[in-house]
């Protein structure tokens, strides 16, 4: 599936819930979030149908997010359904890690391949403040459990914020020394261009200079394939290299893990954007910030499309309508986003 600008759409981010068990300063709007009634959220069966159509159209990489995906009960059954869809080559999840210790092994067994864990401070009190009351021990144990479960990649994502956690860049970089982690530094996006928010922005170049103080850095993307199955480097999974995403990657000399920089502000990657987003309410979004959306829930719940599956075959009317919706959403993707959207991350899925 190509969009108007000949970008091949190969990734789908699926928000499975708008609920979260943390209340991060940069994620939630000050006015609070209106959570959706349960019946407005797509069921696992509906999400799987959408993913089947996406896979038919050439989407190969799927990521579960939220809200906090691990707050959705029995997530492993969704993982199992998605991983058995023909054409799914990559299945990942972004989580805050709070509940990961409990679920890591079961998710791996169900077919989850990769995990990104969001973590913005290694300091107990600061972490509590950033997350509105979170306990860092839960997340650190979650990271250990993910490494122990043997995922192809375990990434730790830090959003670097001026005056909040910029002084911890070096500490985060050192996490990659002993553990097979990919530690990634993400530029803070000031949604809606509010001046107060823009002041939190730290350019990736400055982050790189801080990391350089920790030791010699070598570019990791040109390295030959590292140990198969290691969480740090290239995976042995077929096709994964081309699905890797927008990070610029480095390795500190002697480190087991790698470091990544994601620069959505100083070096926007819209030109290479190959993803669509499914919100928890079933809206297929062209872009995080701009470009519009198509309502899949109405299609899924139309009486014309019941039953969804009969004798193992997808209802042809439903299949046609969903595929057309995907093509419509792809063609809504802007060449470059305006940067002025005001997304509610927990509803769209970060």
Smallest distance from ligand SAM to CB 171, Å: 17
Smallest distance from ligand SAM to CB 219, Å: 23
Angle at 343 between CA 295 and CA 11, to 5 degrees: 60
> Taking the CA atoms of the chain, what radius of gyration do you get in angstroms?
20
Give whole-number Cα distances, 291 to 147, 222, 230, 282, 294, in Å: 37, 34, 37, 16, 10
* DSSP strand pairing (275-278 vs 11-15): parallel
| Token code pair at residue 51 | 């993913």
Instruction: Specify the residue, 286 or 346, whose C-beta has the smaller distance to ligand SAM.
Output: 346
**In this structure, how many other beta carbons lie within 10 angstroms of the beta carbon of residue 204?**
19
Identify the CA nearest to 308 among candidates 44, 29, 130. 44
Angle at 282 between CA 47 and CA 107, to 5 degrees: 35
Contact residues for ligand SAM (CB under 6 A)?
Answer: 20, 26-27, 65-66, 68, 94-96, 118, 157, 159, 186, 188-189, 191, 345-346, 350
Smallest distance from ligand SAM to CB 294, Å: 22
Smallest distance from ligand SAM to CB 314, Å: 29
Q: Which residue is nearest to ligand SAM (CB)?
A: 350
* DSSP strand pairing (309-310 vs 293-295): unpaired
Instruction: Specify the residue, 127 or 188, whose C-beta has the smaller distance to ligand SAM.
Output: 188
Placement of tokens 């409990």 in the chain:
102
Which region, left, alpha or beta, applies to residue 26 given φ > 0 means left and ψ of -120 to 50 means alpha? Answer: alpha
* 168 Cα distance to chain centroid: 22
Instruction: Specify the residue, 21 or 331, whose C-beta has the smaller distance to ligand SAM.
Output: 21
| Token code pair at residue 312 | 């193992």
Smallest distance from ligand SAM to CB 107, Å: 14
User: CB within 8 A of 39, min separation 6: which ones?
Assistant: none
Smallest distance from ligand SAM to CB 71, Å: 9
Smallest distance from ligand SAM to CB 343, Å: 8
User: CB within 8 A of 214, min separation 6: which ones?
Assistant: 170, 173, 174, 252
The DSSP call for residue 149 is: H
Instruction: Specify the residue, 232 or 347, whose C-beta has the smaller distance to ligand SAM.
Output: 347
Q: What is the largest CA-CA distance in the chain?
A: 62
Smallest distance from ligand SAM to CB 267, Å: 14
């Amino acid at each position: 599936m190509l969009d108007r600008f000949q970008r091949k759409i190969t990734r789908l981010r699926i928000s499975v819930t708008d609920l979260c068990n943390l209340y991060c300063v940069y994620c939630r709007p000050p006015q609070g979030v209106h959570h959706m009634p349960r019946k407005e959220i797509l069921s696992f069966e509906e999400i799987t149908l959408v993913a089947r159509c996406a896979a038919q159209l050439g989407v190969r990489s799927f990521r579960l997010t939220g809200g906090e995906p691990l707050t959705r009960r029995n997530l492993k059954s969704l993982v199992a359904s998605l991983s058995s869809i023909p054409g799914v080559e990559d299945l990942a999840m972004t989580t805050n890690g709070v509940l990961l210790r409990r679920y890591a092994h079961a998710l791996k067994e169900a077919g989850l391949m990769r995990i990104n864990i969001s973590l913005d401070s290694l300091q107990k009190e600061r972490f509590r403040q950033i997350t509105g009351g979170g306990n860092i021990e839960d997340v650190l144990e979650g990271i250990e459990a993910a490494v122990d479960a043997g995922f192809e990649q375990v990434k730790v994502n830090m959003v670097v914020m001026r005056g909040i956690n910029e002084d911890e860049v070096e500490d985060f970089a050192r996490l990659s020394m002993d553990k097979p982690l990919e530690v990634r530094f993400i530029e803070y996006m000031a949604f809606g261009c509010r001046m107060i928010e823009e002041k939190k922005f730290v350019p990736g170049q400055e982050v790189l200079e801080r990391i350089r103080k920790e030791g010699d850095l070598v570019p990791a993307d040109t390295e030959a394939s590292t140990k198969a199955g290691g969480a740090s480097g290239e995976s042995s999974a077929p096709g994964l290299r081309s699905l890797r995403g927008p990070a610029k990657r480095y390795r500190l000399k002697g480190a087991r893990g790698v470091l990544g920089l994601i620069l959505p502000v100083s070096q926007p990657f819209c030109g290479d954007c190959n993803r669509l987003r499914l919100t928890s309410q079933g809206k297929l979004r062209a872009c995080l910030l701009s470009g519009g959306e198509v309502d899949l829930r109405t299609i899924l719940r139309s009486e014309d499309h019941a039953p969804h599956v009969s004798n193992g075959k997808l209802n042809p009317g439903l299949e046609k309508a969903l595929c057309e919706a995907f093509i419509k959403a792809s063609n809504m993707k802007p060449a470059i986003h305006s940067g002025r959207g005001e997304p509610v991350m927990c509803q769209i899925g970060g």
